[in-house]
Structure 1
């Protein structure tokens, strides 16, 4: 039996196309539980989480993938991070008074841009940017790959506040099909069939049933699933490093101004890290970030 959150790769044996499916249940609920998101915002955030989980499966790297959408509208920020270990977290910023029911990407994020950043632990950081001009996030991502020098890739993304699902097809370098026209026809055939997917099918069907319904006339090889989970990368140690970067004098002044302690709050998971003058002395004496008393969190 699958984990409640997983991605699963599949491959068409007779042509040069691969695919990926992702299901997010627990991790999506973890993200939604941290903030009171209006439903339209929650749906967008679920779709972006599914997209990040799909993309991590296409990349061979050790590090972090970040999808960040910004706009001048009711949702100024959507952000999802997914590590190569498939640890995922996400957040949205929104203006509740500007959000109406049943609105989508174009209404919520006008003049928007989507940045995809690959941040490996070793090697060079890469970022690509696309305008949010499509009808939905899936179309925007598909356009990004169509306009880049990367392999043609199509996305189908859906969420319903309980679960988020993603489906992706990606063309591979010529191997089984060398003829350009045959490759084009094959790609169009497979993506046209995927375009028939309904929201109910993508959200409700298990992977085996979904693939059979779409591609029962094709030879499809399905690989073992990879588990995904919600995991926030914040920590007291990282918070301490951020404080140290302010400098001892400025940090001491800040603690005094804040009534004897300063708190760093993680926007992703709502964890609070509290530091006082004793912590400050310990940090700059090289004593580490662990609280010297039993009153810290």
Structure 2
């Protein structure tokens, strides 16, 4: 078993179906360490992290994928970002008194909506929206692809507060199988076998063993794993830019209201950036975010 977080692509040699597996241990742990998440929220956050990693594996782009789920329930926000370099970060907002042990997606995020955003560094931004009407996040995502004009795609996701794992199957354009009935039969066969996968198997088995157990009668080509890692994109410079975007008058007003300092906290990693009057004056004089102040963090 690989001892690092990764995604790993595989291909069925005799049919037009590809797959992806995602494993998040350390990166999932980094996300959970930033906030005291109750178990049901931690599980949801792990599942959406795995989903983002799987989706990035299906895309050929240079940029950022964002999954953002919102609801009026116990969990008003789930948000995960995964870059094309497979750097992930995530956060959840929740009302602790409303999160019951064993709660599922439907009870935590009733009438929720998931927004999928692909934000390339060059080119047009793409956004898709799906209602959180399925029994779980995997079902919701699978339903989104089933009703869109994209390639048929199925998801299987699990997380237990220590490990987050995901499996994706996707039907490719006709190549090896040209007959529509043969293509459909092949797709149904592969997804039906994947439906037999238990949470214990997905969370506990390495990729090779998992695929052998599910598809021992198929010829499967497993590609090299691609490393994943937790990394937050916050910085003092980005925080300074946010402060400048407020305008000098509002920034100085914040200084007055907060005893001479402005604190900007990153919600993803809890890093705090502090700006005092000298910092703010330098920013608006065009001096940048490098500051003479000794209070910088």
Q: CA deviation at 1:2?
A: 2.6
Which residue in the other structure is 1:268 paired with?
268
Find the aligned partners of 1:138 and 1:242 in 2 and give their Cα distance.
Answer: 35
**Cα contact 1:236–1:289 (8 A) shared by 2:** yes
Kindly provide the CA deviation profile for residues 119-145 of structure 1, in whole angstroms up to 9, marking residues without a partner as x: 011111110000000000000000000
Q: CA-to-partner distance for each residue in 1:54-79, whole Å, 9 max, x for gaps?
A: 00000000000000001110000000
Aligned to 1:23: 23
Higher deviation after alignment, 250-259 or 169-178: 250-259
**How many angstroms apart in 1 are the aligned matches of 2:134 and 2:97?**
24
- Between the two proteins, the alignment pairs up a number of residues equal to 297
Unaligned runs of 5+ in 1: none
What corresponds to 1:163 in structure 2? 163
The aligned counterpart of 1:290 is 290
- CA deviation map 1:134-189 (0-9, x unaligned): 00000000000000000000000000000000000000000000000000000000
Counterparts of 1:256 and 1:85, CA distance in 2: 41
Between stretches 88-97 and 246-255, larger displacement belongs to: 246-255
The corresponding residue for 2:65 is: 65
Partner of 1:8: 8
Task: Tell me if structure 1 keeps the 8 A contact 2:8–2:20.
Answer: yes
For 1:88 and 1:6, how far apart are their aligned partners in 2? 11
RMSD value, Cα: 0.8
SS of the counterpart of 1:245?
Answer: helix
SS at match of 1:188: helix
> Which residue is 1:106 aligned to?
106
CA distance in 2, matches of 1:148, 1:78: 23
Partner Cα distance (2:23, 2:294) in 1? 41
Pairs within 5 Å for 1:130-145: 130-145=130-145
Q: Secondary structure of the equivalent of 1:170?
A: strand
In structure 2, the residue corresponding to 1:91 is in which secondary structure? strand
Instruction: Assess if the C-alpha contact under 8 Å between 2:64 and 2:120 holds in 1.
Output: yes
Aligned equivalents of 1:294, 1:280: Cα separation in 2: 13
What CA distance in whole angstroms lies between the structure 1 residues aligned with 2:104 and 2:295?
45
Aligned-residue offset at 1:295: 2.2
Shift of 1:294: 2.5
